Structure 1
Amino acid sequence: MKTIIYLILLCCTGIFGKSYGQNPIIRDVFTADPAPLVYHDTVFLYTSHDTASVDATNYQMKDWLVFSSTDMVSWTNHGAPLSPKTFTWATGDAYAAHCVEKGGKFYWYVSTFHKNDDRSNGGAAIGVAVSDSPTGPFQDAIGEALIVNEMTTDNEHGWDDIDPAVFIDDDGQAYIYWGNGSCKWAKLKDNMVELDGPIHHFKPKNFIEGPWVYKRKDRYYLVYASAGTEPEMIEYCTATSPEGPWEYQGIIMENVPNCFTVHPGIIAYKDKDYFFYHNGVLPTGGSHRRSICVDYMYYNPNGTIQKVKQTKEGVSPVE
């Protein structure tokens, strides 16, 4: 009887490869910085992986994880197909990342730190890995960083080149957005692994980090973590072009419990809109041991976004 109870508990906690419903949606490991991708009939969720101890005062993030779901409630853990060790030029931790699909290939843009060498004196850098499958294996797409700290000079600190987010417009033109302290963006060439033109930078109201860009109907949305207050909140701007100018719209989501940071990820899936984020509410969780949640997202008739309601219940399963 004890053996049966133990097996039931293992299944419920996700040790056999799945995590189930209710926020946080991933409960067997600590995850952060959600980057959802809808591909065919499946949602793939790319995440950071917090491995810091309970008493740690800083992040420990050694790899990136992938999960998938077809009902938004049960999530299959596909493990860690990518880490900074994949990149010969990289050192340090695995910070926020974003994966997109184009032409049947999957491009995973990651932020980590660069070794001190002939190309860079260190500092945050952005790389890109590629795979033929959304769950890997992934390999370094170009053998060097796509963006190094020396390419951006609008901020003095060395960690401003983090949190990449890639958006592909209806005409196939891809854009990459990133930054800490200011929002930077550039066009990507059709091969998805080279910048196409100069790097631009601007600072939306209260912007700190974690941009997420998408299009709905004829409007473009720039959603980001804000530093208007502490801890972070989520605010947003809109524009009629992915290049701006961006008009500030307001706060989408207030502070999350037991966590200083927050990071947005937004998708439309099976006729509903979903807002992913992280908090620190799991047992022994906190700012360095975070957990991903998802709740519904709603728009007003004029296209503005209603405030996201954080819930323990999360979302209902979809067929």
Structure 2
Amino acid sequence: MTEPRILVIGDSYMSAEVFQRAFQQRGLAVDAITMTIADPTWDTASIHEFEGDPAEVVRLAQGYEIVAFHAAPFTAAVIEGLPELRLAGCARGGPVNVDLAAAREHGVRVTTTPGKNAEAVADLTIGFLISLVRNVPASLRDVDDRVSDGRPLAESTFEGARWFGREISGLRLGLVGYGNVARLVAARARALGATILAYDPYVDASVVTDATIVAGLDELVSQSDVLSIHARATADNRHMIGAEQIARLPRGSFLINTARESLVDERAMLEALDSGQLAGVALDVNEPDGPWRELVAQPNLILTPHLAGATFETLARGADMLASEIQAFLADEPLRWER
């Protein structure tokens, strides 16, 4: 029996070479290409966060039974245009660039890589936590201003008195969501002495032993010195952290968002920074139409360009997860992460 043909499609974020290395280590022979950045010529209304032209995907993947990819657009038209396709492996936790309904309709199985970036996101979250409570963002801006103005730096042993902050030990860290990332954040923060609270309506509190699971979001925010968001965005939870929730936080608390931009009302957040309700904020994700000028002007705010999962280890882990799923598929075994 002829082995199914496997194609890997790389992109500007996750290269074809990353896929190839992982697949070769597992003894899988693959063909590899890299999608070029192009405006789509076909309808892409059913997907988002993709890179490339659906028409190009159909041309390149013709005749392949298994395709592994990261950002390539798999619309209904793409799936219809690949009649031999049996398995689509998307190296993301949420396959937002795949029309899952169309895949099911055409008998194409879809598998993903949930949690591939959890370690990386947890690391950055803890970095944000330490930086915020120790006033690092504002102090760095002061250093930049001094150097730019030609003023002396560290001329007094007591300059640090301007930047008194908090220690992690004893802080109450509230986690919105208690999935892969949040559990790793909890473990890291607990090692630093923080008390861990979490709210997640999809988690059975009776089986959680490493955090206190509270009954509602209002209860969580009212008890959190630092609120860190780790929920998946849905149509129902846009701005789940808004003016009302921020007002319930203890005055002078901190907010971290390394999840999705739609989960926080950024204008309400800015008002809380201006009033002192929030002492600091770290955002790795931001709304496309957000208040950018006001954000970058805030001295006690960290703003990064969605880099939480951007580590070499994350890419390698995702490629290996897909390779293992393809091995299971070829052996007619259950897939661990099938959607």
TM-score range, shorter chain: under 0.3
Larger radius of gyration: 2
TM-score by length of 2: 0.26
**Relative to total residues, which structure has the larger helix share, 1 or 2?**
2
TM-score by length of structure 1 reads: 0.27
